[in-house]
């Protein structure tokens, strides 16, 4: 990692968005419980802010070596989870204490990831939903039935290269989600809105005409309106998708 977290902040180099990815090993009798064993965070310039092994809080029963490349030796001197949580909080809140953070989160960073809530859950952390940017949940990146694509598929489709061909690298995944986020954020918002609206409206196919006829105008309007937030708003407040 180049320089300390606080040096980066004091020098004014902190980026508005941070991408995060975790690598999971398995816990429990059957190894099915996801435990974060490695975490990486990068800024918008793709610089590593934090990349470390994490000590799971319960015994590891499956290292999932074929995917993670991790063994017991990697985690022998890993950082305890509570220390990792503190480091991540300092990054996300720009060194401010959570209690002193304004309600609008103006000093906090946007957190980008793929199924980012799952990573946060495995880290036993919470972060405001309005500051999350999830490439697995952003409608223009989802299937028409609103099912998520894999990060591997999105990277190949939108960025033109392959990832996760062998052992998963959280740094590589961080770079992919950050590039996807920046690409979507920089798109013509009217085009993004039309795409998202089309996917949102695809729900009409599941209704029979008789069921639609029973709905009040307000109800029809409610299910015909896209409810996702255009990521171009992260660059400017002057975004009117209906224009």
Q: Range of 72's domain? A: 15-184
Per-residue pLDDT of 114-163, as tens digits, reads 999 999 999 999 999 999 999 999 999 999 888 999 999 999 999 999 99
| 205, part of any domain | no
Percent of the chain surpassing pLDDT 90 = 61
Residue 190 domain-assigned (yes or no): no
170 assigned to some structural domain: yes
91's CB contacts (< 8 A; 6+ apart) are 5, 18, 41, 49, 50, 109
Residue 155: inside a domain, yes or no? yes
Q: What is the CATH number of the domain that holds 103?
A: 3.30.420.10
Residue 201 placed within a domain: no
Query: Do the domain assignments include residue 209?
Result: no
Question: In this predicted structure, what is the pLDDT of residue 199?
Answer: 42
Does residue 221 form part of some domain?
no
- Domain-embedded: residue 42: yes
Distances (CA, A) of 130 to 13, 121, 188, 234: 23, 17, 21, 11
Question: pTM value?
Answer: 0.75
Q: How confident is the model at residue 227 (pLDDT cuts 50, 70, 90)?
A: low
Q: How many domains does the chain have?
A: 1
Residue 232 has pLDDT above 90, yes or no: no
């Amino acid at each position: 990692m180049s320089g300390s977290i606080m040096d980066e902040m004091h020098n004014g180099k902190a980026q508005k968005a941070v991408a995060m990815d975790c690598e999971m090993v398995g816990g429990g009798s059957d190894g099915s419980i996801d435990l974060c064993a490695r975490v990486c965070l990068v800024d918008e310039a793709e610089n590593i802010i934090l990349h470390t092994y994490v000590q799971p809080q319960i015994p590891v029963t499956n290292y999932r070596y074929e995917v993670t490349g991790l063994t017991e030796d990697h985690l022998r001197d890993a950082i305890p989870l509570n220390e990792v949580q503190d480091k991540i909080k300092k990054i996300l809140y720009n060194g401010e204490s959570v209690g002193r953070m304004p309600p609008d989160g103006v000093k906090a960073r946007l957190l980008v990831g793929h199924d980012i809530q799952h990573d946060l859950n495995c880290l036993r952390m919470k972060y405001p939903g309005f500051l999350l940017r999830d490439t697995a949940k952003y409608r223009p990146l989802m299937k028409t039935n609103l099912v998520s694509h894999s990060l591997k598929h999105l990277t190949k489709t939108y960025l033109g290269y392959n990832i996760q061909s062998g052992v998963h690298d959280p740094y590589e995944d961080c770079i992919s989600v950050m590039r996807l986020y920046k690409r979507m954020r920089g798109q013509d918002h009217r085009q993004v809105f039309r795409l998202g609206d089309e996917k949102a409206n695809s729900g009409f196919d599941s209704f029979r005409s008789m069921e639609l006829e029973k709905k009040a105008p307000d109800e029809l309007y409610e299910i015909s309106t896209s409810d996702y937030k255009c990521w171009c708003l992260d660059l400017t407040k002057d975004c009117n998708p209906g224009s």
